Structure 1
Amino acid sequence: MTLSTTLKRLFALLCSAALIAWFVLGGDREAQLAALGQRLARIDGLQLAGLIAAFAATYLLRAGRIFDEFSHFAAPPTQPLRADPPAEGAGKVLGRPGDFSAGHVRFASILRLSLIHNAMVNVLPFRSGEATFPILLNRWFGVPTARAIAALLWLRLQDAFVVLALAALVWPDLPAALRAMWIAAVLLAAWGIPHWARNHDALLDQASHSKFGRLVTKFRSALAESTHGAGRSWLWTLANWSLKLVAQAWALSLLLGASLQSGLAGAMGVELAAILPIQGVAGFGTYEAGGAALLRTHGIMLADGLQACLILHLFVIACALSAGALAAVLLPGQSPASSSTTENTHA
């Protein structure tokens, strides 16, 4: 483990410890619990059902975005699944629609993968749950490791770009010129990464004989495949985040007895904290601090903001774990073609 990784993990532990210290030492624990209970009581059964339905819809939108990218990924029955691409013919294993049988990957299987991945990301420390995504893509659908990792990277980059662009639109008291520059920088990065992947520098081809050159070329090719349907994936991502932010804003406004605009500021704060490279364990500490910081710009006291964001965080984790558990029990894992191929391979 490198020094930088160790320092990041220590900082993550400190962030979570700070939240625990605030809750335990910031006053009478019974009073703190009573305050949390009073805030939670502001949400009635119908509103709670609406929030759960909204989060369920975001899960479907996220799964739809992944399904749109990987619905063609099913190995032909005569071809065994491979964990990694062979030395030659790498273009065929990157999953172009013409190289794999279409229609074998079921949406239910992708939904199961997405929900399990979401649950793991929410509870495992130090973002280690992210590994679930490429591992399950490879095991269930035969997606090569490099392709799966590139897909995860592009998925998270799209999330970050959308959150950053929306943050620029709603950030309070931001000069118009700076707001425009912020959005332009996000749009430039969102365009530049797929453009680089699809139109790589010719120098990489010349350096492909080196180990580093082959690695970069392989990853660029995988990223180019992942960004092939970028237009549709942007629509899926925008729909998902618009609904998710509105749902979280609604929850915070109910918990705080504040306006939806104030709730939106808090929702942007928790999501901006969620994309930071350093976070608390399972997000605890940084998540609440990010939301409370932006709620302060709307006159919400820090303690009130921390309480509301803590409840929201627990609700998000409860939804993620419940959905992940139901998916693991009720939804199919492998597609029929992948399952039969795996059986033939082990025979």
Structure 2
Amino acid sequence: MKYSKDASKQRWVRRNRMWLVTTATLGAYAGFLQLSFGIGELLEVFADIGFLPIFSALFLLVSTYFVRTWRVADYFPQETRGQFRRLLRLTLVHNLLNVMLPFRAGEASFPLLMRSEFAMPLGRATAALLVMRLLDLHALMAAAGIGLVLAAEGAALAVMLWLAFLLAPLPLFALKMPILTLADRLPRRLQSVIADIESGLPDGYRAFLRAWGATLVNWGVKVVVLAWVLRLMDIVPFAASFGGALGGELSSVLPVHAPGGVGTYPAGIIAGALAFGSGASSAALAQIGKAAVNAHLLVLMSAFVGTAVAVLLSPSRHKS
């Protein structure tokens, strides 16, 4: 009997080890914040900003989830037609898992959720996720390039290089068919895998442009909102606030990602703010550090609000 209970506990720990690591990390992070800043002092920053700006920032951050959902719905119109609410719930759950689980482990939930909710093959959903993540990374890198162009004081070469990078997805997408044509020479087993991957790519330029446009809107809103919040927290100049927002978001799409973004997200904000012209004195670094932690807490709050929305969107279960 005791052996059975021990084995059951071990299985439970194995199944929930990611969440256990995340919970322990967040607990340690809360203790670190209390020792370093004081939770009350951090909350005072939000109080100083005021309810309306914080509520507006949260509203806009949560609204980006609707843009992401539309991107997926437009990507798979046949499978998701008339299922926007269901797809929104899937997107919100995927976002929470992606934020809270370490090392991008939450990404794996998207193809699994798409298979369970819409009977989509894993290869197709995985290929679509890869395309969307590449577009996400490109959008953030292009936004970072704006700062480099401004630093170059409008040099024509810098502008041309930035435009070339901005438009790079278009010629790269044009290579889709030549590359896929080479799959005809592969063994039949691999051809079936390639077929799943092909079905997860945009059908044509219009579909690709819509996905690209939704990506730019999504990250544009998020970066501008976070830059605005950092500016409200006295991160100057505004270029440093913009750089901090970019740094934080870039840390969230890179493979090295701590549970909940603990440590990595604020570090990204600090690095971005310094790279875009923030002061590096001890007082300035202390100010940036506090603002980075508060901005990270705001992002976590938006993820939790999104989770609450997902719960509300869950189908009601009536007792029989």
Other-structure match for 1:272:
250
Other-structure match for 1:153:
130
Other-structure match for 1:58:
64
Residue 22 of structure 1: CA displacement?
11
Which residue identity does 2:208 align to in structure 1? A
Q: 1:227 to 1:277 in 2, by over 3 A?
A: farther
Which residue identity does 1:329 align to in structure 2? L
1:317 aligns with 2:300: yes
CA distance in 1, matches of 2:243, 2:31: 22
Which residue identity does 1:236 align to in structure 2? A
Identity score, percent: 31
Other-structure match for 1:237:
215
Q: 1:108 to 1:273 in 2, by over 3 A?
A: same
1:167 corresponds to which of 137, 144, 149: 144
Residue 40 of structure 1: CA displacement?
2.4
Moved more, 148-157 or 198-207: 198-207
Which residue identity does 1:146 align to in structure 2? G
Other-structure match for 2:310:
327
CA distance in 1, matches of 2:206, 2:229: 36
Q: 1:117 to 1:173 in 2, by over 3 A?
A: same
Q: Is the 8 A contact 1:58 1:244 kept in 2?
A: yes
The structure that is helix-richer by fraction is 2
Which residue identity does 1:310 align to in structure 2? V
Q: Is the 8 A contact 1:147 1:222 kept in 2?
A: yes
Residue 193 of structure 1: CA displacement?
4.1
Q: Using CA pairs under 8 Å that are at least 6 residues apart, name the structure with larger relative contact order, 1 or 2.
A: 1
Other-structure match for 1:124:
101
Q: Is the 8 A contact 2:124 2:198 kept in 1?
A: no
1:69 corresponds to which of 72, 75, 80: 75
SS in 2 for 1:277: coil
Other-structure match for 2:174:
195
Other-structure match for 1:253:
231
Deviations 1:188-229 (A, max 9, x none): 2x22442233333543212244x4455345423432549771
After TM superposition, the score normalised by the length of structure 2 is 0.77
Which residue identity does 1:68 align to in structure 2? D
Moved more, 237-246 or 196-205: 196-205
Q: Is the 8 A contact 1:108 1:331 kept in 2?
A: no
The count of corresponding residues between Structure 1 and Structure 2 is 286
Which residue identity does 2:106 align to in structure 1? G
SS in 1 for 2:233: helix
Deviations 1:92-127 (A, max 9, x none): xxxxxxxxxxx4x32111111111111111111221
1:40 aligns with 2:20: no
SS in 2 for 1:143: coil
Unaligned runs of 5+ in 1: 1-12, 75-102, 334-347
Which residue identity does 2:266 align to in structure 1? E
Unaligned runs of 5+ in 2: 1-21
